Amino acid sequence: MVAVRARPIVLEPLAAAEPCAHCDARSYSVCNAIEIKDLERLAAMAVSISVEPGRSFIVEGDPAEHFFNVTAGTAKLFKLLPDGRRQITGFAGTGHFLGLAVSSVYAFGAEAVDPMRVCRFSRPKLRAMLDDFPAMETRLLEVASNELVAAQEQMLLLGRKTARERLASFLIARASIPTHCVAQAPGMARTVTLPMTRGDIADYLGLTIETVSRTLTRLKADGLIEIPSNGAIVLRDRAALESVAGGLD
Amino acid sequence: MVAVRARPIVLEPLAAAEPCAHCDARSYSVCNAIEIKDLERLAAMAVSISVEPGRSFIVEGDPAEHFFNVTAGTAKLFKLLPDGRRQITGFAGTGHFLGLAVSSVYAFGAEAVDPMRVCRFSRPKLRAMLDDFPAMETRLLEVASNELVAAQEQMLLLGRKTARERLASFLIARASIPTHCVAQAPGMARTVTLPMTRGDIADYLGLTIETVSRTLTRLKADGLIEIPSNGAIVLRDRAALESVAGGLD
DNA sequence: CTGCTGCCTTGACGCAGATCAAGAGCGGGG
DNA sequence: CCCCGCTCTTGATCTGCGTCAAGGCAGCAG
């Protein structure tokens, strides 16, 4: 196992509309602003890439030449301090759009958490596409607005919540991601799958690995969750978790 | 002095293009995507409002009926937990656009820090305007992208930086706001004015008032800053501050 | 002038979470 | 099968920042 940090391998350019029309991610993503008849043009500019776990496909500070669209798997997005401290600013799952930045360089890095597939677009080409299809730009603004709201929520978490509240908030938020939970009834999802490590969770919540581990153990002892395996957590008392996440009791 | 929390008073609807064409904020703001000949239409839908210090003009959870554009003064944007813990997610100065949210309710509150003027737009009207002028939507996406980058930077600060690093970062960031510093040469601004209280700074940086006060005192003792008055700080050693802000030494 | 009211500073002390350290579980390779 | 490497858990101790408490100081009203 050598040179894992090398650039990901380009697999196939998408020649026809086919791949976009049948893409799993389309219904979640910005692409759904494009009508089927125009999908061919979108497909022509996209390049499908697979990224293996641990490999990074966006490097903070590199020239921002591409946009990405996640079609499978999960990425962690992060910023680093020179001494190695890391803050994960978000996890990008299926349908997530990456690379929004006016600047000429990426403001964050991105690395695959599990086996991923992404669609890659060149910035100038996507810009041209946006000029031709204002609906897509509207959709993009919508996405950006939602992320802004999520970012504000995360600032509240990082600035003002306790470790216990952070973990509860994290689990509740994860439970509402369709891809990553086994839904019983709407809003009643019980089992949350966590593709990322404890270290990733710690860096996302502004804590250490040890505190994450201890806090999960305590939530389990309190009967709020079960931990069947490292990659899964069962929400036993969702109402109580929500109340903890909101800063009550 | 009673009922300070009441709704702000509407002053004058803007009848002609005049006020927009001569607006101090136009060059900073999204409005500069609109050509002069179309400004009249923009002016027709705007309502100019003045907000006195301490008065809130956006309430978290209220129906999101309006967008705002700051034309003078500074607002603090914040989220609250039920027990009163507060996280200020940003300060909005002249030219800042507020209210981006797909949701039907505001995701944050906004309160004037100093005497403010804002332009208010109804959401449906602005939506119609955006459909007619895609350039404005493009500009808005640009603004949203920049805020997203700033939000990620703030997450790094809140999740991973020490109190000293947070204050240094805050002062450096403030120094690059044209309205709030006395610029000597480009990038060489020395005096930063701080319209907000220590409590506001604390809630912005995820600290307490006491820690903000102590940390500023220590930065002063170390010769990095001077504190001529409560509302102003002189950056004596900008390079050293930048290095502290970046997590070095 | 005096007293009041906010805001800020400073000091003493406590605690949530970080750090340091030692296993425990577990999957993969030989 | 055992060994190795990795992640996770758990315990002991430390510490940066929060909490509690006591003034200082400037602006304003009377």
Contact (Cβ atoms closer than 8 angstroms) between residue B140 and residue B30: yes
pLDDT tens, position by position, B60-90: 999 999 999 999 999 999 999 999 999 999 9
Contact (Cβ atoms closer than 8 angstroms) between residue B77 and residue B87: no
Residue identified by tokens 């599990």 is A114
Q: Which of residues 118-177 of A touch B (CB under 8 A)?
A: 130-131, 134, 137-138, 140-142, 144-149, 151-156, 158-161
Q: Average pLDDT, whole number, for chain B?
A: 89
A31 touches strand C (CB under 7 A): no
pLDDT tens, position by position, A88-143: 999 999 999 998 877 889 999 999 999 999 999 999 999 999 999 999 999 999 99
Residue range B93-114: mean pLDDT, rounded: 92
Contact between chains at B108 and A205 (C-beta distance less than 8 A): no
Provide the residue-wise pLDDT of chain A in tens; the chain has 249 residues: 333 444 455 555 555 556 788 888 888 888 888 888 888 888 888 999 999 999 999 999 999 999 999 999 999 999 999 999 999 999 999 999 998 877 889 999 999 999 999 999 999 999 999 999 999 999 999 999 999 999 999 999 999 999 999 999 999 999 998 764 444 555 555 899 999 999 999 999 999 999 999 999 999 999 999 999 999 999 999 999 999 999 997
Q: Is the pLDDT of residue B30 over 80?
A: yes
Q: Is the pLDDT of residue B181 over 50?
A: no
Give me the pLDDT at residue B12, please: 56
What DSSP letter does each residue of B110-129 carry, written as one string? EEESSSEEEEEEEHHHHHHH
Residue of B nearest to A157 (CA): B87
Give me the pLDDT at residue A27, please: 83
SS (H, E, C) A126-140: HHHHHHHCHHHHHHH
Residue range B178-183: mean pLDDT, rounded: 53
Contact (Cβ atoms closer than 8 angstroms) between residue B90 and residue B51: no
> How far, CA to CA in Å, does A90 sit from each of A8, B91, B114, B227?
21, 23, 34, 37
Q: What is the DSSP letter of A122?
A: E
Give me the pLDDT at residue B182, please: 47
Q: Is the pLDDT of residue B39 over 60?
A: yes
Q: Is the pLDDT of residue B33 over 70?
A: yes
Residue identified by tokens 């949701």 is B103
Distance of alpha carbon B18 from alpha carbon A178, whole angstroms: 50
**Phi-psi label, residue A61: left if phi above 0, alpha if psi -120 to 50, beta otherwise:** left
Partner A contacted by B100 (CB < 8 A):
yes
Give me the pLDDT at residue A171, please: 98
Residue range B122-136: mean pLDDT, rounded: 91
Contact between chains at A131 and B134 (C-beta distance less than 8 A): yes
pLDDT tens, position by position, B190-210: 899 999 999 999 999 999 999
Contact (Cβ atoms closer than 8 angstroms) between residue A88 and residue A69: no
Task: Name the band, by pLDDT with cuts 50, 70 and 90, for residue B16.
Answer: low
Give me the pLDDT at residue B179, please: 62
Partner B contacted by A200 (CB < 8 A):
no
Identical fold at B10-154 and B161-245?
no
Q: Within a 10 A sphere around the Cβ of A173, how many other Cβ atoms?
A: 16
Which bases in strand D are touched by protein, i.e. have an atom under 7 Å from a CB?
A: 7-12, 16-21
Give me the pLDDT at residue B15, please: 52
Strands (E), chain B: 10-13, 47-51, 56-58, 66-72, 75-80, 86-92, 97-98, 109-112, 116-122, 181-182, 191-193, 225-229, 232-235
Give me the pLDDT at residue A88, please: 98
Domain ranges for chain B: 10-154, 161-245
Residue of B nearest to A134 (CA): B134
Annotation: CATH topology of A161-245:
Arc Repressor Mutant, subunit A (1.10.10)
The CATH code belonging to domain B10-154 is 2.60.120.10
What separation, in Å, do the N-terminal and C-terminal C-alpha atoms of chain A show? 49
Contact (Cβ atoms closer than 8 angstroms) between residue A192 and residue A232: yes
Residue of B nearest to A101 (CA): B145
Give me the pLDDT at residue B3, please: 36
